[in-house]
Amino acid sequence: MLSYILRRIVATLPVMAIVALFVFSLLYIAPGDPAVVIAGDQASPEDVERIRQSLGLDRPFLVQFGSWVWRILHGDLGTSIFTNLPVSAMIGQRLGPTLSLMIVTLLLTIVVAVPLGVVAAWKAGSLIDRVIMGFAVFGFSLPVFVVGYMLAYIFALELEWLPVQGYTPLSSGFWPWLENLILPAIALGCVYIALVARITRAAMLEVLQQDYIRTAKAKGLGQGGILFIHALKNAAVPIVTVIGIGIALLIGGAVVTESVFAIPGLGRLTIDAILRRDYPVIQGIVLLFSFVYVLVNLMIDVIYTLVDPRIRY
């Protein structure tokens, strides 16, 4: 098992290398000479030439890529063109809010979507099932910002139950931290909950047809034990998979959600960086997200072995 995880980590290296190559090429794929872009509209040709040399843009592409990778491996993601701060420090500042938002959303999704899907499968064809699945379609078709503004309007402005926007770090207390994340997590989680609930229902429906479920009934087990132990554990592989894939959804959704709720996280940083064409920051963020995604995939594969003993690597 441990050797498998090690092998997998080694196997992620080529993947990350390709991602890095792509991220690095961003500078060149983007229209215009990067030096011109970086120098801005007011720069003189001398300025552009100076920037080109200081960035090493006059050297061959592969040499530039090599030295870039070398610096990244040493933890140096470069310096922001706009703020002149190290990219790693900028990302570090913004990591907390985004990570908090994602974790709260992930937990909310699992706690809400899985039981909903299980109940829908158990009561398949009934009114409850149709209501849950109707909600799922609804949740799936609403954009994050619509849900976000609706929630903020109802629960923050009208009812005044929760803050409208902002973020408080966990270090100033659990409730102040959570309070600010509830509405964003619901807004961000809507699509995710819908997706996971649907997959859970489909996976459960198939499992509930199996012979071993009949055996469990014949043994005198109650409905809860049958659904949540005998059936859910068998349905877990597709559910875990879609929860993992959904993390990609979360990364995209976080950018929008953080704008709606004014959360100073990576999403906001991404938008700002794109608007300012702050390439080193964009590269750093994309690299980080890709790395997180690769890591999540590895975690999913490890979780498979925990839920299904037939899966061994």
Name the residues that contact another protein, by CB under 8 A. 210-212, 214-222, 225, 229-230, 233-234, 236, 307-310
Beta bridge partners of 79: 86
User: Residue 71 or residue 233: which is nearer to another protein going by CB?
Assistant: 233
The residues near 143 (Cβ < 8 Å, ≥ 6 apart) are: 256
Tell me how far apart the alpha carbons of residues 13 and 94 are, in angstroms, rounded to a whole number. Answer: 26
Phi, then psi, of 79 in degrees rounded to 5: -125, 140
Q: Report, in Å, the least distance between residue 303 CB and another protein.
A: 13
Nearest to 132 by CA among 188, 205, 185: 205
Beta bridge partners of 86: 79
Q: Report, in Å, the least distance between residue 230 CB and another protein.
A: 5
User: Residue 198 or residue 230: which is nearer to another protein going by CB?
Assistant: 230
Tell me how far apart the alpha carbons of residues 141 and 37 are, in angstroms, rounded to a whole number. Answer: 38
Q: Report, in Å, the least distance between residue 208 CB and another protein.
A: 10
What does the DSSP assignment read for 90-132?
Answer: HHHHHHHHHHHHHHHHHHHHHHHHHHHHHHHHHTTTSHHHHHH
User: Residue 74 or residue 310: which is nearer to another protein going by CB?
Assistant: 310
Tell me how far apart the alpha carbons of residues 186 and 246 are, in angstroms, rounded to a whole number. Answer: 15
User: Residue 90 or residue 216: which is nearer to another protein going by CB?
Assistant: 216
User: Residue 32 or residue 309: which is nearer to another protein going by CB?
Assistant: 309
Tell me how far apart the alpha carbons of residues 198 and 139 are, in angstroms, rounded to a whole number. Answer: 11
User: Residue 7 or residue 214: which is nearer to another protein going by CB?
Assistant: 214
Q: Report, in Å, the least distance between residue 293 CB and another protein.
A: 27
Q: Report, in Å, the least distance between residue 298 CB and another protein.
A: 22
Q: Report, in Å, the least distance between residue 117 CB and another protein.
A: 18
Tell me how far apart the alpha carbons of residues 123 and 265 are, in angstroms, rounded to a whole number. Answer: 41
